[in-house]
Chains A and B, each alone.
Chain A
Amino acid sequence: MSQKLNIAPEVFAYMEHVTGTDGVAVRVNLSKEKIEKINQICNSFNNDAGELINVLHETQHAFGYLPAEVQDVIAHNLHLSVAQVYGVVTFYSFFSMIPKGEHPISICTGTACYVRGAEKVLEEFKKELQLKVGETSADGKFSINCLRCVGACGLAPVVLVGEKVYGRVSPDGVKAIIGEYKK
């Protein structure tokens, strides 16, 4: 069953992305398979409320993001309120309620990459794609995120697109990287 909910305007910006409706956001119905998957993850942590962060990690790994209805199922399984689950999701920047792009771009802003110019690389990606950190492009192809250290400091500054690692990236090389995925 899907339900209509009046969502606060600030959140609606996020929800709209998920549902594509306007005025009132509609919680999309989760398929039986997706609910099974969440249940399986929760079960693997014995539905223990103390394992919430691990459950969220695994679930985000499986779905790419943590939409409202996914949080609902997790809260139910772990005997927490949805408000508390949402509290944890919004506390840690790693968790996202926005679906990542088909090609998620992660720019390392750890210390080594930072001192070798990661900031300028990030700015270039933002300019090229017209996106802010944490956003996903309208066609769903790209999203930009920052992360801290992938353990490849010798290659700094480092950028990840999906699982692929790009080392010694300069602002001039950004266009070419994006170009690889534009086809």
Chain B
Amino acid sequence: MIELTIDKKKVRVEPGTTILKAARQVGVEIPTLCHFELCDMGIENKPGGCRICVVEVEGRRNLQPSCITEVQEGMVIKTHNVRVLNARTTVLKLIISDHPFDCLVCAKSGECELQSLATQFGIRSLPYEGEQSHYRKDTSPSIIRDVDKCIMCRRCEMMCNDVQTVGALAAVNRGFMSVVAPAFEMNLVDSPCTYCGQCVSVCPTGALTEVDHTNDIIRALSDPTKTVVVQTAPAVRAALGEEFGLPPGALVTGKMTAALRELGFDYVFDTDFSADLTIMEEGTELLQRIRRHLAGDSTVRLPILTSCCPGWVNFFEHNFPDLLDVPSTAKSPQQMFGAIAKSWFAEKIGVDRKDLVVVSIMPCLAKKYECQRDEFKTDGNPDVDFSISTRELAAFIKQANIDFLNLPDEDFDDPMGESTGAGVIFGNTGGVIEAACRTAYELHTGRSLEKVDFHALRGMEGIRSATVDFDGLQLNIGIAHGLGNARKLLDEVRAGTSQYHAIEIMACPGGCIGGGGQPYHHGHSEILAQRAAALYTEDERKTIRKSHQNPSIVRLYDEFLGHPGSQKAHNLLHTEYFPKSNEVSIHLNGHNGQ
């Protein structure tokens, strides 16, 4: 252990600890900007670039960046004397001198870490005049890059390259001209970007934000010829409350439903319903593939991979175009909802699909891209018209003057609002495969599952595995969250060494509860754990916890689809994948075992 003094407080820490972390142990909070951490997940960005966190170390000539300087025995550190405060203020003013002053109209206003620091340091004027750097705005279906607001903290680069291994963004050019951009300064749409939105969730400023569709929705709600239906993803209810001052993990399902009704949606439905539907289709496909495999059919590919996550779908289309037959063909719950809403439900209420507007509230930015994909349109009319994030919904509710906290708890509408506990846990890493196991077990054995909680499948480790016993049939299950972890499991599949029968993958750390469209966590990983716990609580409260027992799902098959995997189900609920490789080299260069 190493002993040192920080602001006259003695502290003992492990060797290798940074001054920043040692200070936190004695309650000294040093301001940071480029530094970012999700500590439970081993995710850390510390380029030591911004110098906001400098401190004075006795005996050293220069101020030291506390985020990268390791402690030494007997160090005496001052974190807020005049010299330190002056240095921080100067650094901050220099950063702001090349930053637009459009806070009033910035999407990040109120959540911007640069803005918070300017407030904290009482910046009232800037002594520096001169040119500011300018770069074109880049808009993709999900994400807007406005790099004039970039402060080169490199958090997005760390997320995109190290955590997600997507490699769409990196710092390019030099000095005043440097920006974070895709290779060859292409636009995001031409890059390998998966729209997972993790860059947006860690960006400290408004340089990376989501494409906002709130106004499109207001227009639809104001149009008397349109019937507007809304679906809410599982993870939204576990995070929306944070935007209204509730503690992380507060479940606001009832208030959210009431708020959506107040906003004027004609039918308030639940994506949990179509999550149950996904299990019916995906679970059936899983069982069929495994049974054929066990019967010796060599044409069947195992493992089967889940396909609910659009960031993940984009990732394998870009990086594993040779494995497109491995993921399940089942559409995501968002798209299954849209397909059923604009067929079964539209028929039921006698509305033409062109006059039915389907809106989705998602914890996700990739969903914005997904609902615009051509294969999810009929005669140019999309199954899901607009997808907005949890953050956009919160802003919409505030804009509409709704007193969210005092709303009564209300229920979803029938029939597409009915769901089971299995649908709810889709928002957590491990949740989809747990839900699938609950149904597949009963379908396979014909017996009732006594303990529905598969604790072995839960947790926050990046890659997990478990063997589930289906009465003698041992199913090896793999789970990965974060695309870098997914890549490891996919490399095994490509190499033919994968031991799994089924793999669940979610692009975002923690699953959808940590999605790119959720309220900003600012690096507090405990928030993700609390949201995950909330979804398991909601699951436990449900009387029905297995997808195939959802009465509305049973009715949907009876009235409309026939049986899981039927021709009609196939047409409406399954999809195909397309190769998207950008790399010219990948097919040509086989020398190093790739």
Query: A: which residues have CB within 8 A of B?
Result: 1-3, 5-8, 10-11, 15, 27, 29-30, 32, 35, 39, 42-43, 47, 68-69, 71-73, 75-77, 80-87, 90-93
- Please tell me which one of the listed residues B584, B586, B591 contacts residue A43 in the complex, with CB atoms under 8 A apart: B591
Q: Are B185 and A10 in contact (CB under 8 A)?
A: yes
Q: 1/0 per residue B293-318: CB within 8 Å of A?
A: 00000000000000000000000000
Interfacial chain A residues near B189, Cβ < 8 Å: 6
Complex CA–CA separation, A1 to B579 (angstroms): 14
Interfacial chain A residues near B585, Cβ < 8 Å: 30, 35, 69, 72-73, 75-76
Q: Are A90 and B582 in contact (CB under 8 A)?
A: no
Q: Are A83 and B191 in contact (CB under 8 A)?
A: yes
Complex CA–CA separation, A91 to B171 (angstroms): 9
B90 → chain A, closest Cβ, in Å?
Answer: 26
Name the prevailing secondary structure of the A interface residues: helix
B280 → chain A, closest Cβ, in Å?
Answer: 38
Interfacial chain B residues near A85, Cβ < 8 Å: 183
Interfacial chain A residues near B160, Cβ < 8 Å: 81
Most buried by B among A8, A68, A77: A8
A61 → chain B, closest Cβ, in Å?
Answer: 20
Nearest 4 A/B pairs, CB to CB:
A81-B167, A83-B170, A82-B183, A73-B585
- Please tell me which one of the listed residues B161, B166, B584, B586 contacts residue A30 in the complex, with CB atoms under 8 A apart: B584
Which residues of chain B in 123-178 are interfacial with respect to chain A, using CB atoms and an 8 Å cutoff? 136, 160-161, 166-174, 178
Interfacial chain B residues near A90, Cβ < 8 Å: 172-174
Whether A6 touches B190, Cβ cut-off 8 Å, given contacts A82-B583, A87-B170, is yes
Interfacial chain B residues near A84, Cβ < 8 Å: 161, 167, 170
Interfacial chain A residues near B586, Cβ < 8 Å: 76
B194 → chain A, closest Cβ, in Å?
Answer: 13
For residue B511, CB closer than 8 A to chain A, the reply is no
Q: Are B584 and A1 in contact (CB under 8 A)?
A: yes
B113 → chain A, closest Cβ, in Å?
Answer: 24
* Known A75-B167, A83-B181; 17 more pairs at CB < 8 Å: A5-B190, A7-B186, A7-B190, A30-B584, A30-B588, A35-B589, A39-B592, A43-B592, A72-B583, A72-B584, A73-B589, A81-B168, A81-B170, A82-B583, A85-B183, A87-B172, A90-B172
Instruction: Offer 27 A-B interface pairs, CB within 8 angstroms, sorted by A.
Output: A1-B588, A3-B584, A7-B190, A8-B184, A11-B186, A27-B584, A29-B584, A30-B585, A42-B592, A43-B591, A43-B592, A69-B585, A72-B583, A73-B589, A75-B585, A76-B583, A76-B586, A76-B589, A81-B167, A81-B170, A81-B183, A82-B582, A83-B169, A84-B161, A90-B172, A91-B172, A91-B178
Complex CA–CA separation, A41 to B178 (angstroms): 29
For residue B182, CB closer than 8 A to chain A, the reply is yes
For residue B115, CB closer than 8 A to chain A, the reply is no
Complex CA–CA separation, A50 to B584 (angstroms): 23
Interfacial chain A residues near B552, Cβ < 8 Å: none
For residue B476, CB closer than 8 A to chain A, the reply is no
Q: Are B184 and A11 in contact (CB under 8 A)?
A: yes
Complex CA–CA separation, A92 to B585 (angstroms): 24
For residue B215, CB closer than 8 A to chain A, the reply is no
Q: Are A81 and B161 in contact (CB under 8 A)?
A: yes
Q: Are B186 and A6 in contact (CB under 8 A)?
A: yes
Most buried by B among A35, A68, A83: A83
Q: Are A6 and B187 in contact (CB under 8 A)?
A: yes
- Please tell me which one of the listed residues B171, B583, B592 contacts residue A87 in the complex, with CB atoms under 8 A apart: B171
Complex CA–CA separation, A61 to B173 (angstroms): 21
Interfacial chain A residues near B60, Cβ < 8 Å: none
Complex CA–CA separation, A84 to B174 (angstroms): 13
For residue B594, CB closer than 8 A to chain A, the reply is yes
Whether A47 touches B592, Cβ cut-off 8 Å, given contacts A6-B190, A8-B187, is yes
For residue B587, CB closer than 8 A to chain A, the reply is yes
A30 → chain B, closest Cβ, in Å?
Answer: 7
B169 → chain A, closest Cβ, in Å?
Answer: 6
Complex CA–CA separation, A87 to B480 (angstroms): 30
Q: Are B591 and A39 in contact (CB under 8 A)?
A: yes
Q: Are A35 and B588 in contact (CB under 8 A)?
A: yes
Q: Are B589 and A39 in contact (CB under 8 A)?
A: yes
Complex CA–CA separation, A2 to B170 (angstroms): 24
Complex CA–CA separation, A98 to B456 (angstroms): 55
Most buried by A among B585, B589, B592: B585
A125 → chain B, closest Cβ, in Å?
Answer: 24
Interfacial chain B residues near A43, Cβ < 8 Å: 591-592
Q: Are B167 and A83 in contact (CB under 8 A)?
A: yes
Interfacial chain B residues near A92, Cβ < 8 Å: 174
Complex CA–CA separation, A102 to B267 (angstroms): 70
- Please tell me which one of the listed residues B174, B181, B584, B587 contacts residue A91 in the complex, with CB atoms under 8 A apart: B174
Complex CA–CA separation, A182 to B171 (angstroms): 41
Complex CA–CA separation, A73 to B586 (angstroms): 8
Interfacial chain A residues near B594, Cβ < 8 Å: 76
Q: Are B184 and A7 in contact (CB under 8 A)?
A: yes
Which residues of chain B in 54-101 are interfacial with respect to chain A, using CB atoms and an 8 Å cutoff? none
Q: Are B584 and A2 in contact (CB under 8 A)?
A: yes
